[in-house]
Chains A and B, each alone.
Chain A
Amino acid sequence: MANYYIHVGSITNAMRGKKLLEARGMRSFVHRAPNPPDGDGCGYSLLVTADEREATRILRAGGVRVVRVSEGL
């Protein structure tokens, strides 16, 4: 299964996002964002191995700003 980094910006967003995903039974890990978007700069991401589209949907519905999603190693 592929790993995805969901870049969410701040550490607070990442922690909050992790809790939102946990509440929906999805495991995630907070990491520094490996490939932040151009012009945005460093920040934090959620590493998920589950369905990244569903994870992104949950995060956005919970008010967490998703900056970008990228595939990890």
Chain B
Amino acid sequence: MIYWDNAATTWPKPPHVQAAARQALTVLGGNPGRGGHRISMAAAEKVYECREAVAGFFGLDDPSGVVFMPNCTAALNAVIHGLLDDGGRVVISDLEHNAVWRTVNALPGGRARFDIAAWSENEDETVENFRRAIRPDTRLIVCTHASNVFGVTLPIRRLAALAHQCGLLICVDAAQTAGVLPIDMQADDLDYVCVAAHKGLYAPMGMGVLLCRERERVVARIQGGTGSRSMLAAQPTELPDRLESGTPNLPGICGILGGLRFVKEHGRQTVYAHEMSLLSLVYQRLSNTQGVRLYTKKPQLGACAPVLSVNVDGVAPEEAARLLDAHGVAVRAGLHCAPLAHARFGTLPSGTVRLAPSAYSTAREAEIICKLFAQIAQKTLHTKKNML
């Protein structure tokens, strides 16, 4: 199996992650932050160790701002609903995943509550588009760090500066970039970052993180037990308890610790450079393959997430993915839950085939994928000729 669907979730999971999750299931069995017995306290210590490690990795000074969530979508929902349910507007980009687009559409008032700023290859233009989309009652900018379909990035540091200049908050959807591109909440001046821990951090599925540098304003939309201040009818106000009700996913949290260890051991930059070199190879080959269509410029180190969208002329993306799967290659086709991005790049209604390598991907795999695309394109050309 050649697995190049790592933008959906990375696989295989490193031994570090497997061992950490296994330890949670076999040794640290107690409910963290609930009991006082040894096994519960040992679990709680591990959870706090993970908060510290995550905070350190993303330049967050206080581990209490690390909120564990079931996924990145839940983190984005927490911020968007927690800041906007009682009013105000939000600006989003035209590359957003449905985790953002559907969520802003679900705000009371729906379409009247958000504005869309167009991404441009020119950073200055992108920032200007966001500036123009801000209205007097705008409270928040939510934008993806990198498109989950086309890999192109938004200038988050400049957008944070714009947001703060205008008295707004900024929330970054780092689903495709956490553990891949550098993110420093302090240096980038970000208020919230939403992380899909099961992608670039190699944690088990079912793990996301909300990183809060701004610690007061997100209103909890889910209430419940926190193991603290139990007599109060109201949700505790402090983080992480305010946003972290119910029993946490201990194997997942331990898995994040294992994943961070893996990424640090290999070097975030080294892994990223490896993935980008594979995508460059693929890009170069496919750009010279008749009948194969690419939608972006050649992926540049530092400027893109390791994600590439491709199509074969005359072949539906889902059909191309099925043919690849028949040859043991796992990729994702279709709209990738991001119709806005496909509208921007003109790939509606069928979408694209998405290629996303990981630390475990190899140049040989890249070569095989390119050959298969060439075969599919060749076969399609022949079929067309025969039909004429």
- Which of chain A's residues have a CB closer than 8 A to the CB of B228? 9-11, 13, 41-44
- Which of the residues A16, A30, A41 comes within 8 Å of B64, measured between beta carbons? A16
**Assembled-state Cα–Cα distance A56/B226 (Å):** 23
- Which of the residues A15, A32, A38, A43 comes within 8 Å of B229, measured between beta carbons? A43
- Which of chain B's residues have a CB closer than 8 A to the CB of A65? 238
**Interface hits, B49-77 → A, CB 8 Å:** 51, 62-64
Q: Is the C-beta of B291 less than 8 angstroms from some C-beta in chain A?
A: no
Q: Is the C-beta of A12 less than 8 angstroms from some C-beta in chain B?
A: yes
Cβ contacts A1-45/B at 8 Å (1 or 0 each):
000000001111101100000000000001110001011111110
Cβ contacts A43-60/B at 8 Å (1 or 0 each):
110000000000000000
What number of B residues sit within 8 Å (CB to CB) of A? 25
- Which residue of chain B is the closest to A32 with respect to CB atoms? B36
Q: Is the C-beta of A63 less than 8 angstroms from some C-beta in chain B?
A: yes
Q: Is the C-beta of B179 less than 8 angstroms from some C-beta in chain A?
A: no
Q: From A11, A13, A44, name the one whose CB has the most chain B CB atoms within 10 angstroms.
A: A11
Decide: A39 near B232, CB < 8 A? Known: A11-B227, A15-B45: yes
- Which of chain A's residues have a CB closer than 8 A to the CB of B35? 32
A9-B241, A16-B63, A42-B227 are known contacts; what are 12 more A-B pairs with Cβ within 8 Å?
A10-B227, A12-B51, A12-B238, A13-B228, A15-B48, A16-B62, A32-B35, A32-B36, A36-B231, A41-B229, A43-B228, A44-B228
Contact surface of A with B, Cβ cutoff 8 Å: 9-13, 15-16, 30-32, 36, 38-44, 63, 65
